[in-house]
Structure 1
Amino acid sequence: MKSFYRLYVFLLIFCGIILFAVTFREDISISENVRPIPPVPEEIKSTFKLYFVNDNSLAVENRAVTTKNMSFEKVIVEELINGPRNKTLAATIPEDTRLLSIETIENICYVNFSSEYIKNNKLRELGEPLVIWSLVNSLTQLDYIQKVQILVEGEKIEFLDDEDLLNQPFSRNEELIQKRNVTHFTIVKDFLDSLLMERYDRAYSMLDKESRMRIGFQEFITFMSEYIKELRGYEIVLYNTQKYSDKTIILLKYSKDNTNEEIGFYQAWKLIEVNDEIKIVLGDKEDYINSLY
């Protein structure tokens, strides 16, 4: 009887081992036949300062860009080639210029352009210093870039009359950057730029206290995201400042981008001064959304 039970237990254990081995092997076969899912490239949303020419100095244009599998330095140069969105600024790189290569080695960024870079009149029209440091200052905002070496078709080119600067990498030049004069219009422009870059926290902080008490932050985000969505595709072509004893009104005229048609609208922004600071007084939602139609 004991022998029978021993045999019975042995058979149970043996069958269990066989069943486990078969199941494990099937799992291995299935996993071997399953193709791995490639990782999805991550999209990175960043904001860069691009330097373009305004009169005899460099002016900053903030540019929000979504990148995927592209270095920050390449994004900056490509956006410089695309030119400014603010029509009052001048581009410094011809739009037909191709970026042949770009890499950063030991804190020096080597930018290699096609021959169109020097076959244009921008170097003469705008002046070599502004054209050069438009690129250099834009790239050196990245903390790992200290200098920029400009190449054309892989060759160093001579810039400026100073022999010490010939064929040498260029460092950042703060002296050419335009000193910004804060006005009621620039406050409104900064507010709108913050919305376009989805910096709602910054835009919200520019409101006066009463507006912030009346409209909570989450409601502000919902409200302004809808507003800025409808605003895309338009640009400011004219503005007028109307000053009163207790407030200032900035009247903006918008028109459709890249069109000769009279498609546009006017919009007014109210500002007040609080403790020597200029603050925006936000009206009702309908005051902004309805004016877009």
Structure 2
Amino acid sequence: MKSFYRLYVFLVIVCIVILFAVTFRQDINISDNVKPIPPVPEEITSTIKLYFANNNKLIMENRLVTTKDMVFEKFIVEELIKGPRNQTLIATMSQDVRILSIETIEKICYVNFSREYIESVKWDELEEDIIIWSLVNSLTQLDYIQKVQILVEGEKIVFSNSDFSKNQPFSRKDDLIKETNITHFSILKDFLDSLKMERYDKAYSMLDKGSRMRVGFQEFREMMSVYIKELRDYEIGLFNTQKFSDRVNISIKYFKNDSIGQVLIYQEWKLIEENGEIKIVLEDKDKIGL
């Protein structure tokens, strides 16, 4: 009887040990096979400064962007390659340029482009310094970048200006930046001038997204051609700007002198900020005097 009892206890102990060992091994296997879940990067919305060409100067364009890319210098260069949204500015790189690599070491950003960068017709159309510092000034807005080294397929560029070839990497150069005083009225004036010159494509691009969804380009062109004819011989006499939290209203008084005296026309326009740009809202015809 005692022998049977001892055997029973022994078997129970063996079963417990085996069960524990199997369970422990399964836990090990499961934890070994489970891959760590990488953190999902959050989207970051910020305003970046991009520099494009205009009359042998650099003009800054503010651009509101949203990205998950944590390499901000790469994102800035990608936006530069896309070109300006403001149609009065000129891109300094062709859109077929590829970024082969980009990294920042000890405050120097090394940008390695494909051959399309140096083979672009931009080098014939624009001054060398404008093309170079469009990139350099855009990147050095980042606090951790003080200089920029431009490479093409891993090699330094030999510029026609020998000073540029010798003085690499490049530091920021603010004297190429043209100071601009952009106001809501100056944007509206640019819009009206585009209509007078029959640049309907440019004027249409200055509308906000909602206006472009409501009114197609052909309808806009027909409507604005009538509008601009009615303004013929009129000049802007006075304008008044009213700023609200979500918009800016501009009232314009036009006048012209004819045989019966001075004739006045009053119009009102609304402008809003959309993706970091000031856009014009196309109101109903009666609100703008049509």
TM-score scaled to structure 1, two decimals?
0.57
Q: Does the CA-based 8 Å contact 1:80-1:93 persist in structure 2?
A: yes
Paired position in structure 2 for 1:118: 118
Q: Which amino acid aligns with 1:66?
A: T
Q: Does the CA-based 8 Å contact 1:130-1:176 persist in structure 2?
A: yes
Q: How does 1:194-209 map to 2 (within 5 A)?
A: none
Q: Percent identity?
A: 53
Q: Which amino acid aligns with 1:103?
A: E
Q: Which amino acid aligns with 2:41?
A: E
1:161 aligns with 2:161: yes
Shift of 1:122: 1.5
Label 1:140 to 1:43 Cα distance change in 2 as closer, same or farther (>3 A).
Answer: same
Label 1:56 to 1:176 Cα distance change in 2 as closer, same or farther (>3 A).
Answer: same
Find the aligned partners of 2:52 and 2:172 in 1 and give their Cα distance.
Answer: 15
Find the aligned partners of 2:203 and 2:24 in 1 and give their Cα distance.
Answer: 65
Q: Does the CA-based 8 Å contact 1:238-1:253 persist in structure 2?
A: no
1:136 aligns with 2:123: no
Paired position in structure 2 for 1:86: 86
Paired residue secondary structure (2:100):
strand
Shift of 1:51: 1.0
Q: Which amino acid aligns with 1:83?
A: G
Find the aligned partners of 1:172 and 1:153 in 2 and give their Cα distance.
Answer: 23
Q: Does the CA-based 8 Å contact 2:157-2:165 persist in structure 1?
A: no
Label 1:100 to 1:22 Cα distance change in 2 as closer, same or farther (>3 A).
Answer: closer
Paired residue secondary structure (1:135):
helix
Q: Give the length in aligned residue pairs.
A: 220
Q: Does the CA-based 8 Å contact 1:237-1:254 persist in structure 2?
A: no
Q: Which amino acid aligns with 2:121?
A: N
Q: Which amino acid aligns with 1:53?
A: A
Find the aligned partners of 2:153 and 2:16 in 1 and give their Cα distance.
Answer: 71
Find the aligned partners of 1:18 and 1:112 in 2 and give their Cα distance.
Answer: 60
Paired position in structure 2 for 1:146: 146
Shift of 1:260: 5.9
Find the aligned partners of 2:41 and 2:85 in 1 and give their Cα distance.
Answer: 26
Shift of 1:153: 2.5
Paired residue secondary structure (2:136):
helix
- Segments of 5+ residues of structure 1 without an aligned counterpart are 1-11, 189-233, 240-250, 273-278
Find the aligned partners of 1:137 and 1:80 in 2 and give their Cα distance.
Answer: 11
TM-score scaled to structure 2, two decimals?
0.57
Structure whose alpha-carbon radius of gyration is higher: 2
Shift of 1:41: 3.5
Q: Does the CA-based 8 Å contact 1:235-1:254 persist in structure 2?
A: no
Q: Which amino acid aligns with 1:145?
A: I
More deviation, 118-127/72-81: 118-127
Find the aligned partners of 1:236 and 1:140 in 2 and give their Cα distance.
Answer: 33
Paired position in structure 2 for 1:55: 55
Label 1:30 to 1:154 Cα distance change in 2 as closer, same or farther (>3 A).
Answer: closer
- Segments of 5+ residues of structure 2 without an aligned counterpart are 1-11, 189-201, 225-239, 248-269, 273-280, 285-290
Paired residue secondary structure (1:42):
coil
Coordinate RMSD, CA, aligned: 4.5
Q: How does 1:121-270 map to 2 (within 5 A)?
A: 121-159=121-159, 161-163=161-163, 165-166=165-166, 168-185=168-185, 237=205, 255=212, 261-262=218-219
Find the aligned partners of 2:39 and 2:245 in 1 and give their Cα distance.
Answer: 43
Paired position in structure 2 for 1:100: 100
Paired residue secondary structure (1:84):
coil
More deviation, 75-84/118-127: 118-127
Label 1:138 to 1:35 Cα distance change in 2 as closer, same or farther (>3 A).
Answer: same
Paired position in structure 1 for 2:67: 66
Paired position in structure 1 for 2:34: 35
| Greater RCO (Cα-Cα under 8 Å, separation 6 or more) | 2
Paired residue secondary structure (2:244):
strand
Shift of 1:97: 1.4
Label 1:23 to 1:165 Cα distance change in 2 as closer, same or farther (>3 A).
Answer: closer
